[in-house]
Structure 1
């Protein structure tokens, strides 16, 4: 390899590293909602390795962040499947998970979910009943705290679509928890 080849390789690695730094919080947060801490870290690292192996192709795609998001979700699903196949139990019920507080607080602040004595198991079941896109938007927006712009980038959509999807998701959650859908402002 000559000096020019090294420079191009270094630049490509710097670009990849910056990309990963930009999305690390999103990826780690999402993996952490599904997996124990060590398994979440491992899934993110495995996803980063895959993204690096496919980096040239990903850069040619119109939405590189969405390509990486897809890879991350595949790695999280693989880790969950591995846990099931190994016969590992679901995480033990304990204190209310942090994601429950985040989703409930955001939704109650918006007046979209009723204050109810229903346990976090019921909220979790309602979240699991959402479509994949709605679930992702709820997790990214209310748990991880991304902006609509950041979510749109990760999911290869528009900010308006993110807002609409979030509203639909909250309506579904409210319905599943015995509340009523939000009133639409026209």
Structure 2
């Protein structure tokens, strides 16, 4: 990115945007809370930063244009996440969830040493299995374990309860263990952090 354009991936650029001068304060707060997470999620799905930026900016533009209607929704974060997922789905109808497998594997490979590259091969199977999870479990696992948000943040981003996130994590872990043919015992209480 050139120096003329702020980096949309940095939290500082979002804070510098000063949207409150032209947009409702509650929209600005929502934007600042969700923008980075939406960008990271979209990039993982689309495997291209510019495309992800376009999708996320389009979604936020639509939300801003209809903000009074959005606020009448029973669950604003869930409504916005659904809008994001719909916009992403429109951009990748032919290979649904396939970029995720390659993106997640590539991100792991960038961080891997030669000794860890053997692990990467098994991670490819894991990422492919994650891509086959039911939609809500998939979203929770991607946000929690691939993008690294804690369970409370995942609940906030998705507009669901903390208990729902824990339930989806538990169900996804059981399904993944079954599909990958590994022994699984339900862990003790997960950190709320």
- Give the structure-1-normalised TM-score: 0.72
CA contact (8 A) 1:99 1:143 kept: no
The answer for the alignment partner of 1:65 in structure 2 is 77
Find the aligned partners of 1:134 and 1:38 in 2 and give their Cα distance: 27
Gaps of 5+ in 1: 1-8, 103-114
2:155 is equivalent to residue 143 of structure 1: no
Find 2:105's aligned residue among 87, 96, 106. Answer: 96
CA contact (8 A) 1:20 1:48 kept: yes
2:50 is equivalent to residue 38 of structure 1: yes
Q: 1:66 to 1:119 in 2, by over 3 A?
A: same
The answer for the alignment partner of 2:136 in structure 1 is 133
Q: 1:66 to 1:101 in 2, by over 3 A?
A: farther
Gaps of 5+ in 2: 1-19, 112-117
CA contact (8 A) 2:108 2:120 kept: no
How much does 1:145 deviate? 2.1
Q: Please, what is the CA RMSD of the aligned residues?
A: 3.4
User: Structure 1 stretch 51-60 or stretch 120-129: which is displaced more?
Assistant: 120-129
3-state SS in 1 of match to 2:92: helix
State the Cα deviation string for residues 40-93 of structure 1 (Å, max 9, x = none). 111111111111122111112231111110110011111113xx49xxx969x6
Find the aligned partners of 1:95 and 1:156 in 2 and give their Cα distance: 24
The answer for the alignment partner of 1:15 in structure 2 is 26
The structure whose Rg is larger is 1
- Give the structure-2-normalised TM-score: 0.70
